Structure 1
């Protein structure tokens, strides 16, 4: 098993990196771009990673 997890981005609340494994929802926005919702493993909030 690989320990190298890809990051979804950073939490806008606490700034910590959010690993791929914490992804909750992936969706397409009205403008055609991809949106994500993930749980931050540090502050435990559901956020849109930046």
Structure 2
């Protein structure tokens, strides 16, 4: 079994790694950059993952 999942980054609240499977929304900001919202598997909040 492969346990090496790709990560979206870390939760800004608890620091937990957020796997790609927890991605909720991808969007493009007004300045042209891309953003994402995901659910943190540890604290169950909707967050913008940080690197």
Which TM bucket (shorter chain)? over 0.9
The CA RMSD measured in Å over matched residues stands at 1.1
* TM-score in terms of structure 1 length: 0.92
Is there any run of 5+ residues in structure 2 with no aligned partner, and where? none
CA distance in 2, matches of 1:49, 1:38: 7
1:1-50, aligned counterparts within 5 Å?
2-50=2-50
In the comparison of the two structures, how many residue pairs are matched?
A: 50
TM-score, structure 2 length as denominator?
Answer: 0.90
